[in-house]
Structure 1
Amino acid sequence: MTVVAAQQREEQLTDKDFAFICQFVYQRSGIVLNESKKEMLYRRLTRVVRDRKLKSFAEYCQILKTNPEAEQDYFINAITTNLTSFFRENHHFEYLRDHEFPRLLNNNKDRRIRIWSSACSTGEEPYSIAITTLKAMSTRIRNWDVKILATDIDSNVLATAKAGIYKDKPDLVPEVYKRGYFQKGRDGNANKVRIQPQVQELITFKQLNLLHSWPMKGPFDVIFCRNVIIYFDKPTQEELFSRYYQLLKPGGLLILGHSESLGSYQQYFETIGRTIFRKPEHG
């Protein structure tokens, strides 16, 4: 078979194969794929087929059918979107620094703070939370029990997050946070930065499928669930909001992405900022 013929076979993502893949992804991760995602799925699935040296999309679908448990992590990793950056939607971190941490420092008699980044991707979000925490608490953090949990379904991005090494860019992080929290590389690593140990020590990274059981008990003072809810259908969203609500302390914060909302679950929270919601202290 010629290269052109092989590529033509590979390029035939039939409606049947697309429907099967959408169902497979939904059952395994809760992520909803529809026609609007077909081009994205096509591009990413093309890479999978070529990496596996397969002849067609149909051949890979057969692998998913015959060996789903062994293949699911690799496949979900390959197709999930992991767009993130340090201090993305910075107003959330400003609210933590200027309002929530002063509140926690004044009200938490047990001197215990727990924060969860529930879709942490390559780590920029939890590291931004940790830097904000260090900045807001200053020397008082020595006398407090502060921990940040960071989870994601994708094992590949978690490996990047745990390493804490990133390409240095002019707009990587606000200037006020650069000193003391990032170590610039030298020589062959001059174009990279490493997260400082004092930041990394606050965070525990774990792989977690949000649709499966959650081993942690909480309660959490703050939960970040940003830019992931949009991939789920309404019933799944409401189930997740209910589970987040149960894990939040009374008065705790749930923070969503800029294009997300609580929908009908809004009635159980107070809106206190742009996509920042508080579980009532009572009731």
Structure 2
Amino acid sequence: MGSSSDAKSLNRLREIVVAESGIQLGNEKDQLVLTRIGRLLRRLGHETLEAYLAHVETDRTGAARSDLVDAVTTNVTSFFREPHHFQHLAKLAASEWQAERHPEPIRIWSSACSSGQEPYSILMALERQLGEAELRRYLVLATDLSKRMLVRCQRAVYPEREIQPIPPIDRQRWLSPIPGSNSYRVSPALQQRVRFRHLNLLGSWPMKRSFDAIFCRNVLIYFDRPTQERVVKRFHERLAPGGYLYIGHSESLSGFANDFEFIAPTIYRRKSA
């Protein structure tokens, strides 16, 4: 990229991505963005970034904007990433939630589930702590901005290299090898405890009931401060009193005007009153 028109096109692209998703793309990511967008240009037959962006801006269906955001966003995740969150959740379930005996299912929201490892890890950790019968009291909503990632979530198929962080006891119980491949499929019994939905954290949230825990890990770092504050405020509103918020290892609510209680690094609790 060297011309002023290229620079202007990249600025337009950043503006579209921010408006659509809140994700901030710094100049240091220009080459990565151009590489990823180049694949879209070739597939759609556009010769220049400017021509492609004209297509995005005139597409009334919104599909082109969604495809653009999907192309430039990074989906990095793994099973049991940041394991202290799952340890905390399992102990919480076995003590606090078990003692309260909720009359309704306990609801957990994986708000940026990527390719599905997070919600499946949540359920594996809970079942290992509580047993399969008790797991029926839990429902996990898993949402993501990327429709491409949600397709992978629903397939629930992962290559052998990706399942290594899963404890052996969970691998044996919840994963089945796919004959003729180096991949494994998550058990249907576990899949049925998750509801996968497409959702933009900057858009409307159609869920009507509150959640007992929300996972939003390594997402806030891509937003500017005002957007972070708006999203955290909305999480607070959607958490039941005493509900927990889990965020990423490089994120913090320090300095936010909010009613969260600090429990441990990256773990917060909505104050009960």
Please give the range of the TM-score, normalised by the shorter of the 2 chains.
Answer: over 0.9
* Mapped pair 1:243 → 2:234: yes
Note the aligned Cα RMSD (angstroms): 2.0
Percent of aligned pairs with the same amino acid: 36
**Matching residue of 2:189:** 198
Corresponding letter in the other structure for 1:238: E
* Mapped pair 1:79 → 2:72: yes
**Matching residue of 2:173:** 180
Deviation track 1:205-232 (CA, whole Å, cap 9, x = no partner) reads: 0000111110002210100001111111
Corresponding letter in the other structure for 1:183: S
Q: Deviation of residue 96 (structure 1)?
A: 1.0
SS at match of 2:173: coil
Instruction: Give me the whole-angstrom Cα distance separating, in 2, the residues matched to 1:72 and 1:137.
Output: 43
Distance 1:52 1:183, change over 3 A: same
Q: Deviation of residue 38 (structure 1)?
A: 1.7
Corresponding letter in the other structure for 1:173: I
**Matching residue of 1:147:** 139
Q: Deviation of residue 266 (structure 1)?
A: 6.2
Superposition TM-score, scaled by structure 1 size: 0.89
Unpaired segments ≥5 residues, structure 2: none
Aligned length: 271
Instruction: Give me the whole-angstrom Cα distance separating, in 2, the residues matched to 1:101 and 1:248.
Output: 19
* Mapped pair 1:222 → 2:179: no
**Matching residue of 1:64:** 56
Instruction: Give me the whole-angstrom Cα distance separating, in 1, the residues matched to 2:74 and 2:189.
Output: 29
Of 99, 111, 123, the match for 1:106: 99
Tell me if structure 2 keeps the 8 A contact 1:13–1:42: no
**Matching residue of 1:271:** 262
Instruction: Give me the whole-angstrom Cα distance separating, in 2, the residues matched to 1:81 and 1:139.
Output: 34
**Matching residue of 1:22:** 14
Q: Deviation of residue 107 (structure 1)?
A: 1.4
Tell me if structure 2 keeps the 8 A contact 1:226–1:255: yes
Instruction: Give me the whole-angstrom Cα distance separating, in 1, the residues matched to 2:32 and 2:101.
Output: 46
SS at match of 2:10: helix
**Matching residue of 1:31:** 23
Q: Deviation of residue 100 (structure 1)?
A: 4.0
Tell me if structure 1 keeps the 8 A contact 2:218–2:247: yes
Tell me if structure 2 keeps the 8 A contact 1:256–1:276: yes
Corresponding letter in the other structure for 2:108: I
Tell me if structure 2 keeps the 8 A contact 1:82–1:121: yes
Superposition TM-score, scaled by structure 2 size: 0.92
Q: Deviation of residue 90 (structure 1)?
A: 0.9
Instruction: Give me the whole-angstrom Cα distance separating, in 2, the residues matched to 1:42 and 1:31.
Output: 16
**Matching residue of 1:213:** 204
Q: Deviation of residue 235 (structure 1)?
A: 0.8
Instruction: Give me the whole-angstrom Cα distance separating, in 2, the residues matched to 1:270 and 1:231.
Output: 23
Instruction: Give me the whole-angstrom Cα distance separating, in 1, the residues matched to 2:57 and 2:188.
Output: 43
Instruction: Give me the whole-angstrom Cα distance separating, in 2, the residues matched to 1:153 and 1:75.
Output: 11
Q: Deviation of residue 91 (structure 1)?
A: 1.0
**Which range is displaced more, 150-159 or 54-63?**
54-63
Corresponding letter in the other structure for 2:90: R
**Matching residue of 1:168:** 160
**Matching residue of 1:42:** 34
Corresponding letter in the other structure for 2:141: L
Instruction: Give me the whole-angstrom Cα distance separating, in 1, the residues matched to 2:67 and 2:99.
Output: 45
**Which range is displaced more, 262-271 or 27-36?**
262-271
* Mapped pair 1:128 → 2:121: yes
